Amino acid sequence: MNLPDKMGIITEGVSLSYDGHLVLGGVSLRLKKGAVITLLGPNGCGKTTLLKIINGLLRPSSGLVLVNGKDVSRMRQVDLARLMGYVPQSQKSSFPFTVQDIVLTGRMPHISALAQPGAKDVKKACQALKMVGASHLTDRPYTQISGGERQLVMIARALAQEPSFLLLDEPTSYLDFKNQFTVLKMISRIAGERKVTVIMTLHDPNHAFMFSDEVVLLRKLPALGDCSKQALPGLQNVVAAGMPDEVMTPDNIQDAYGIEVEVLEVRGRRMLFPL
């Protein structure tokens, strides 16, 4: 493929089916390096699935994903882990590892198979915890902290990998109203300071308005029987992709969510209000 700019993430015709139901159909995107990009849409539209395909955790039924010009399906997992940090919606552990131990596991792509984390790795883990404002949790058992604190720890773990791309699946899960904004501000700050490309899924369109450089708005595909091999022509998830103001219009929101909204400006910020 002849690409004018290979830096960033490119998806070409990515489709995926579960049990004959098409979840993703013909997703083609250009996600430029250095941006905070939000995948937005209703439940079941394929946000998490697309994130996992980008990260190499799922293989699409058709299409390909390129990261900095390289085909994800042909990359070793250790190389992907050095390039991408991934934070799923929830992370459970039944073992009472300390928070520092959990964050240190993010250093594994940089440590040989038979080696132990060294002083440099411990320093990187501490720096990552400080970056997310969770240094006070360092010696706490991971099983004894709140869901919101676990979310911060997992973001720190991903940052300890020193990735070029940070993939976050619902980073505001388990967080109260105040801490949702605190975490999203932190993610935006880290993206700027560390020059990390952030791709995150969110439920709240207004959060996407406030904290995104770009938005990919997805719709849920209808059930059309057995589409397990590839997407039917013209059947696509992506409603629009680009700048938030251009993507999140009343018509596009109606297409994606099936509800009418009005876009209002409050103190210089645009917000969506259901009608």
Lowest-pLDDT choice from 9-18, 21-30, 199-208, 220-229: 220-229
Q: Is 63 left (phi over 0), alpha (psi -120 to 50) or beta?
A: left
> What does the pLDDT read at residue 228?
44
Whether the predicted pLDDT of 215 surpasses 70: yes
Task: Report whether 215 contacts 241 (CB < 8 A).
Answer: yes
Whether 231 and 15 have beta carbons less than 8 Å apart is answered as: yes
Most confident among 13-22, 115-124, 167-176, 248-257 (mean pLDDT) = 248-257
What whole-number percentage of the chain has pLDDT above 70? 92
Instruction: Report the predicted TM-score, pTM, of the whole model to 2 decimal places.
Output: 0.90
pLDDT at residue 148, rounded to an integer: 84
Contacting residues for 196 by C-beta, under 8 A, at least 6 apart: 163, 164, 165, 166, 190
- For the cut 70, the answer to whether the pLDDT of residue 10 exceeds it is yes
CA 269 – CA 275 distance, rounded (Å): 19
The pLDDT value given to residue 4: 44
pLDDT value at position 234? 60
The pLDDT tens digits of the residues spanning 35-88 come to: 999 999 999 999 999 999 999 999 999 999 999 999 999 999 899 999 999 999
Strands 8-18 and 21-32, sheet pairing:
antiparallel
pLDDT, residue 224, reads 61
Confidence of residue 225 (pLDDT cuts 50, 70, 90): low
pLDDT computed for residue 20 by the predictor: 79
From first CA to last CA, the distance across the chain in angstroms is 45
pLDDT band at 90 (very low <50, low <70, confident <90, very high): confident
pLDDT of residue 229: 44
Asked whether the beta carbons of 42 and 220 are under 8 A apart, the reply is: yes
- Residue 175: per-residue pLDDT: 84
Asked if pLDDT for residue 1 goes beyond 80, the answer is no
Residue 176 — pLDDT band, cuts 50, 70, 90?
confident
Mean pLDDT of all residues in the chain?
89
Tell how strand 62-67 and strand 70-71 pair up: antiparallel
Tens of pLDDT, residue by residue over 124-140, are 999 999 999 999 999 99
Phi, psi of 258 (to 5 degrees): 75, 25
pLDDT, position 96: 82
* 21 band by pLDDT with thresholds 50, 70 and 90: confident
Q: How would you classify residue 170: left for phi > 0, otherwise alpha for psi between -120 and 50, otherwise beta? A: left
pLDDT at 151 over 50: yes
Mean pLDDT across the stretch 185-206?
93
